[in-house]
Amino acid sequence: MTDDHQLRVSKIRNGTVIDHVAAGQALNVLAILGIDGTSGEAVSVGMNVPSDRLGRKDIVKVEGRELSQSEVDVLSLIAPAASINIVRDYDVVEKNRVVRPDAVASIISCPNRNCISNADEPIRSRFTVLSDGVRCDYCETIVREDEVAANLDVN
Amino acid sequence: MRQDHLISASHLSREDIEAVLDRAADIDDDPAAFRQRHAGKVLGLCFFEPSTRTRMSFDSAMKRLGGQTVDMGPVESSSVKKGETLADTVRVVEGYADALVLRHPSEGAATMAAEFVDVPLVNAGDGAGQHPSQTLLDLYTIRENAGLDDLTIGIMGDLKYGRTVHSLAEALTNFDASQHFISPESLRLPRNVRYDLHASGAQVREHTELDEVLPELDVLYVTRIQRERFPDENEYRKVAGQYQIDSETLEAAADDLTVMHPLPRVDEISPDIDDTDHATYFEQAHNGIPVRMALLDILLSQDR
Ligand SMILES: [Zn+2]
């Protein structure tokens, strides 16, 4: 990573930089964070930026916002290589790799339309995290990593 | 068993399976000894889709243990019709019964229902998901006819939607069984079942033609290919005919090949096989009674 690449996305003062997001996933990251531009946060997005580690990557910078654990859990499913940098007063004060949780609840909808978790029952969707995807705890359907974003149940 | 419920064959260990099959063999030997075993106990039958045979089989099994059954009746005339959730229904029926049997059209229904009740719950089929009590009677039949170790089994037909196939394949991973799956491309095993088979290190091969493996098989387990799975009738005819067997087909098979089918069949097994030594499907259906008696006996006898 060179300074030149950093400059493609403007610096933020306080907030979070989500770096090393798989190329093409930046908009899904915004969806997970519930950011659609209407609530006024300053957001910068770099897409298909050259990266030594990933070839190409996306970067998302969000001013004035630190992420919750459940947001990080979901991010880990669509961007397992992501690093999350907390910025205060223009300095990176904390740098964390995402860690995949063992299970996630309420954030992914089961793509099996006949799954009981999609019926009108008093339960939350729940998935066990596998090495390359997630599996519905109810119907056992497997959602591969590259399909997770399409089944996000955010907002 | 490790848990109080029977939800998925993937939860069954070899010990669990053998405990049920051994108990079923005891019952087969001396049914009279079990006649009053669960006198005074009540089994709740919750069938959210019609299945006369499975329901009758559980009903009969419970009564032969001295117990009784309560049946919620057809969905059309129940509170479900008024929009009650499954979670509510099972919590209500739990109050009437010592154990529940659930058949439901949605995958995962039994897993969910078990989260809401304290009495043992048996999954009697959830959509295209699992049907583990069928698997136990299948395993009992296989053990009686061919043995469960050093077994070569062919499983043929609709492997994608066939819940009996999914449960059987997963349960067989507990044994030294080599499994051959024979189906049209479009009806191959679903991803999650393959995943489990692969994860358990099972010996699995897939075929589109029966004759590639027929001579090696100890057991051929046939399932029905449903017309409604195909967008057009011609496509269905082309495929279905290819997976029908008759006595001529079986000339290439071993003399002691056991042919099984969860029934009902349509035309995938010709009646000319019925009178041969290969035909085991009616015996298989009858085994539902001792096996379900054994299962209920074990679930109802646990200290809770
Ligand atoms: Zn599901």
DSSP string, B116-130: T-SS-EEEEEETTS-
The Cα B123–Cα B4 span in angstroms is 12
The reply to whether A129 and A147 lie within a common domain is yes
Instruction: Give the CATH number for residue A23.
Output: 3.30.70.140
Residue A75: inside a domain: yes
In the predicted model, is pLDDT for residue B58 greater than 90? Answer: yes
Q: Where is average pLDDT lowest: A129-138, B6-15, B232-241?
A: B232-241
Binding residues of B for L-aspartate: 82, 163, 224
Which has more confidence, B222 or A11?
A: B222
Counting Cα atoms < 13 Å in the Cβ hemisphere of A9 gives: 26
Angle between helices B288-301 and B14-29 (to 10 degrees): 110
At B2 the pLDDT is: 46
Percent of chain B exceeding pLDDT 70 equals: 98
The Cα B263–Cα B195 span in angstroms is 27
Residue A5: inside a domain: no
The reply to whether A85 and A126 lie within a common domain is no
The Cα A140–Cα A116 span in angstroms is 11
The reply to whether A19 and A84 lie within a common domain is yes
Residue A59: inside a domain: yes
Binding residues of B for carbamoyl phosphate: 53-54, 103, 131, 134, 263-264
Asked if A138 and B115 come within 8 Å (Cβ–Cβ), the reply is: no
The reply to whether A54 and A92 lie within a common domain is yes
Distance (angstroms) between ligand 1 centre and the Cα of A12 equals 40
User: Which residue type, as a one-letter code, is found at position B240?
Assistant: A
The reply to whether A82 and A109 lie within a common domain is no
The reply to whether A77 and A130 lie within a common domain is no
Catalytic positions of B, written as ranges:
53-54, 82, 103, 131
b or e along A57-88 (b: 16 or more beta carbons within 10 Å of the residue's beta carbon)?
Answer: bbbbbbbebebeeebbbbbbbbbbebbbbbbe
Residue A137: inside a domain: yes
At A39 the pLDDT is: 82
Among the candidates A61, A80, A97, a domain finishes at A97
The interface predicted TM-score of the complex, written ipTM, equals: 0.91
| B114 → chain A, closest CA residue | A138
In order of their start, the domains of chain B are 3-129+287-299 (3.40.50.1370), 131-283 (3.40.50.1370)
Average pLDDT over residues B102-129: 96
Asked if B128 and A140 come within 8 Å (Cβ–Cβ), the reply is: no
Residue A6: inside a domain: no
Residue A144: inside a domain: yes
Task: With beta carbons less than 8 A apart as the criterion, state whether B164 and B134 touch.
Answer: yes
Q: Where is average pLDDT lowest: B45-59, B73-87, B266-280?
A: B73-87
At A154 the pLDDT is: 63
Residue A106 DSSP SS3: coil
The reply to whether A68 and A114 lie within a common domain is no
The reply to whether A20 and A65 lie within a common domain is yes
Task: With beta carbons less than 8 A apart as the criterion, state whether B136 and B291 touch.
Answer: yes
Residue with tokens 């848990």: B3
Distance (angstroms) between ligand 1 centre and the Cα of B151 equals 33
The range of the structural domain enclosing residue A47 comes to 15-97
The reply to whether A35 and A83 lie within a common domain is yes
Q: How many beta-carbon pairs under 8 angstroms link A with B?
A: 62
Distance from CA of B145 to the nearest CA of A (A): 32
The reply to whether A74 and A120 lie within a common domain is no
Residue A120: inside a domain: yes
Question: Which H or E run includes B19?
Answer: helix B14-29
The reply to whether A91 and A108 lie within a common domain is no
Residue A66: inside a domain: yes
The Cα B172–Cα B122 span in angstroms is 20
Number of folded domains that form chain A = 2
The reply to whether A24 and A90 lie within a common domain is yes
Instruction: Give the CATH number for residue A133.
Output: 2.30.30.20
The model's pLDDT over A139-150, given as tens digits with 9 standing for 90+, comes to: 999 999 888 888
- Chain A CB contacts of B192 under 8 Å are 135, 140-142
The model's pLDDT over B161-191, given as tens digits with 9 standing for 90+, comes to: 889 999 999 999 999 999 999 999 989 999 9
B127 in A contact zone (CB under 8 Å) = yes
| A115 → chain B, closest CA residue | B107
B25 in A contact zone (CB under 8 Å) = no
